[in-house]
Amino acid sequence: MLIVQKFGGSSVADAEKLRRVAGIIADTKKAGNDVVVVLSAQGDTTDDLIAKAHELSPDPNKREMDMLMSTGEQISISLCAIALQALGVPSISLLGWQVGMKTNSDYGNARIKTLDQERIRRELEQGRVVLVAGFQGINKHDDMTTLGRGGSDTTAVAIAAKMHADLCQIYTDVEGVYTADPRLVPTAKKLKEITYDEMLELASMGAQVLHNRSVELAKRYGVPMEVLSSYVRKPGTIVKEVTKEMEETKISGIARDDKIARIALVGLKDEPGIAYKIFRVLAREKINVDLILQSIGRGNTKDISFTIPKSELEHAAQALRAEQDVIGFEHINVTDKISKLSVVGAGMINRPGVAALVFEALAAAQVNIHMISTSEIKISVLIDAENADVAMRAVHKKFFEE
C-alpha cells in the first residue's frame, strides 16, 4: 500500500515527540508500505515567525512573509529524517519545490496548481521514506508560497490524490474528529466516521482539526482520510463519501468560529441597487462576506448587516466609510465581539425540527441570536462572543447528551 501520513505541529514539537513520530512511520514502513510523510512546523514556530516579522513592520510584505513562514517546515522534515535514519530507516526530506508543488501567486493563501510526483516516486523506489515539507509551494516565478494557516493537511491530501494513495492519515493531538472541539466541550464524543460534506462544513465553520481545502480535495479525488492521534495508537475517524449512520443521526457535529466580525449599515435608502453598491466595494477589496441580513424597510429606510473575517474589519470599515455618500447610509456599526455557532449533519436533509432544537437549547440558555443562516446540512447562528461557551455546551447537550 501507499500511505501518506501527516503530522501536525504539536506532534513534532520536540525531540521526544519527533522520536515517537519516527516510530509510527518506521512501523508503517516495516509493515511493507510505501510511506510519504508531510510535516508541519514544530509547535508554535509559525506563530513565532509571524510575530518576529511584526516586530519589524506592521504590514510586512507578503512575498517575504511566505519566504519566512516556509522555513518552519524545513526544520521539521530534516529533523525527522535524522530521527528515522537513527532508527535505521532510509529516508529523505524534500521541500515543496523539490517535489514540484506549483501554486498560484496568492501569497499567504496560495492554491495548488500542479504537483510533479517523479521525485517522490524515484525516492520510494529506492526504498526510502519521503518526508515532504507541508504548507509550501512555489509560484511561476520560482518564489516560495504558503497555502494558508493549517495548510499542511492540504499538502498531504494533494500528494495522496496525485499519487493515488490508499490512505491519507492526518495525525494530530486529539484522537479523531469529535462532535465538538473536545477542548471547548469536554463531553464531546469521537466519531467513527463522517462524510466529506459534513467534514467540509465543520472545517469551514471553524473546526480547525482539518484545513477545509484538504477536505475539498479529498472529496473531489475520493481520497480516503483518517484523523487520528500521534500519542495513542488506536483507530481514529474515517472521512469518506457515505457513512453508515448518515440516515439515522441527524447531527454529526458542532463548530464555532470566533474569528469573525459584524458590520451593520444603518439608515440605507429602501430602493433597488443598494446591496450592489455595498457588496461591490467589499468585492473590490477582496473581502469575503459570510452571513448577510437585510431588515424589512421601515418608512423609506432599511439596514443591512453582514459578517466578515475579523482580520478584515478595519479594512472593510474604512473602504465603506470612504463610499458613504455613494452608498448612502446614516451610520455604520462594527463589532468583533461575536461568534458563529454551526450545527452540521447530513441527516438534517428533509428532516424538520433540527432548527427548533437549536433554538430551544439557546433559549433555555438565555442566549440571544443576531443572525441565522441555513444550508442543506447546516444551521448557523450568530451570537455574542461572551455567550459562545455556554451556547456551545447547551446545543451539544441537546443533540448528544439527552
Where on the chain is the footprint of ligand ASP (CB under 6 A)? 8-9, 40-41, 46, 72, 134-135, 149-152
Residue with Cβ nearer ligand ADP (190 or 269)? 190
To Mg ion, the closest distance from the beta carbon of 142 in angstroms equals 27
Nearer to ligand ADP, 172 or 307 (CB): 172
Q: Kindly identify the residues of this chain, within the stretch 162-201, that bind ligand ADP according to CB under 6 A.
A: 172-174, 177-178, 180-183
Q: Which are the contacts of 348, defined by CB distance < 8 A and separation ≥ 6?
A: 250, 251, 354, 376, 377, 378, 379
Binding mask 209-228 for ligand ADP (x = CB under 6 A): x-------------------
Would you say 10 or 373 has its CB closer to ligand ADP? Answer: 10
Q: Which is nearer to ligand ASP, 13 or 343 (CB)?
A: 13
Q: How far apart are the C-alpha atoms of 294 and 84, rounded to whole Å?
A: 58
DSSP 8-state assignment for residue 36: E
CB of 39 to ligand ASP, least distance (A): 9
Report which secondary-structure segment, H or E, holds 368: none
CA distance linking residue 24 with residue 152, whole number of Å: 18
Q: From CA 192, how far away is CA 16, in angstroms rounded?
A: 29
Shortest Cβ distance from residue 312 to ligand ASP (Å)?
A: 18
Nearest residue to Mg ion, using CB? Answer: 150
DSSP string across 265-313? EEEEESSTTHHHHHHHHHHHTTPPP--EEEPPPBTTEEEEEEEEEGGGH
Closest approach of Cβ 152 to ligand ASP, in Å?
A: 3
Q: Which is nearer to ligand ASP, 41 or 361 (CB)?
A: 41
For residue 131, give Cα distances in angstroms to 54, 124, 260: 30, 11, 35
Tell me which residues in 269-288 interact with Mg ion (CB under 5 A).
none
Sign of CA dihedral 298, 300, 306, 310: negative
Within 1-30, the residues that bind ligand ADP by CB under 6 A are 8-11
236 binds Mg ion (CB under 5 A): no
* Residue 124's binding partner out of ligand ADP, Mg ion, ligand ASP, none, with CB under 5 to 8 Å set by partner kind: none
Min dist CB 8 to ligand ASP, Å, is: 6
244, burial (CB in 10 Å: exposed 0-12, middle 13-18, buried 19+): exposed
373 contact partners, CB below 8 Å, separation of at least 6: 290, 291, 379, 380, 381
User: Looking only at residues 226 through 285 of this chain, which bind ligand ADP when binding is defined by CB under 6 A?
Assistant: 253
Question: Residue 111 in 3-state DSSP?
Answer: coil
The residue count for binding ligand ADP (CB under 6 A) is 20
Report which residue's Cβ sits closest to ligand ADP.
Answer: 8
What single DSSP character describes residue 385?
Answer: G
Asked if 150 interacts with Mg ion (CB under 5 A), we say yes
d(CA 26, CA 84): 7
Which of 253, 345 has the CB closer to ligand ADP?
253
Q: How far is CA 120 from the centre of its chain?
A: 26
Q: How far is the CB of 371 from Mg ion (least distance, A)?
A: 28
Q: Which is nearer to ligand ASP, 13 or 382 (CB)?
A: 13
Q: Which residues bind ligand ADP (CB under 6 A)?
A: 8-11, 40, 150, 172-174, 177-178, 180-183, 202, 207-209, 253
